[in-house]
Amino acid sequence: MSRLSTQALTLAYEDRTVVADLDLAVPDGEVTVIVGPNACGKSTTLRALGRLLKPKSGSVLLDGASLATLPTKRIAQQIGLLPQTPVAPEAITVADLVSRGRQPHQHWWQQWSDEDERAVSEAMTRTDVADLAERSVDELSGGQRQRVWIAMALAQETELLLLDEPTTYLDISHQVEVLDLVRQLADTPFKGDKGDKGRTVVVVLHDLNQAARYADHLVAMKSGRVVAAGPPSEVVTADLVREVFGLDCVVVPDPVTGSPLVVPGAPWKAS
């Protein structure tokens, strides 16, 4: 049984159903990437996995128990979530924002510890924001802010990490850095795990080629349903891309990784 899963999950905003009857098992210790066209339910599903959205019906399960029945603090210690458009408190510094990732681990008798300090310092170093520690988040570029938010999520040190479009606002170099970091999180044994598994990471991405390159498990969604799920080599085909995205293409091996690489059909040109 995977630690995080859904059963017959239906999600809606008022009377508009966005995700219908979804059964999804997130593989432990792997990177799962959810892809699909705009408004297909990717981010909505991720919000439900992090208990930011209450199901209309069905359930999200953590270790076999419904999220709806679990204490908020326990969920915060197990699941870290970086939403698509987080909002920082006005005038907060980078160091203070990243430190907020430690709140689920603190107690009334111990507000800050050496372990908290270590986690924050390590998170800021891994996301290359340590030099920005005393800067106000309001002063940063979009790309810098995004890396600070990722640092806060890492400082939370949860075994399950949910990231909604974490490469937004980043240039190509920093996109690769962030996704390399995501890959490392799944490949490095988690500090609380007795085996050899790293973090379980679920990421929503728009870029299908990046998804195929970094995912262990790829979930393709359309109109609130899973069309295909599995290893990228099995999921990413020309037929699948046409069905889900309405794009004619060819799929070839990536010359660096061997993962599927989607090449769109020839561009239209005026005669």
- Which domains are present in the chain? 4-87+155-264 (3.40.50.300)
The 3-state DSSP class for residue 81 equals: strand
- Coarse DSSP helix, strand, coil percentages of the chain, rounded to the nearest 5 percent: 35, 25, 35
pLDDT tens over the chain, length 271 residues: 689 999 999 999 988 999 999 999 999 999 999 999 999 999 999 999 999 999 999 999 999 999 999 999 889 889 999 988 788 888 899 999 999 998 887 665 567 788 889 999 999 998 889 999 999 999 998 888 888 998 999 999 889 999 999 988 788 988 888 898 889 888 888 765 555 678 899 999 999 999 999 999 999 999 999 999 999 999 999 999 999 999 999 999 999 999 999 999 878 776 6
Tokens coding 187: 């490949």
pTM: 0.89
**Helix pair 114-126, 142-155: axis angle to 10 deg:** 140
Q: For residue 106, what pLDDT is reported? A: 67
Residue 92 gets which letter from DSSP? -
Q: For residue 184, what pLDDT is reported? A: 86
Q: For residue 271, what pLDDT is reported? A: 63
**Other beta carbons within 10 Å of 64:** 9
**Other beta carbons within 10 Å of 221:** 24
Q: For residue 195, what pLDDT is reported? A: 57
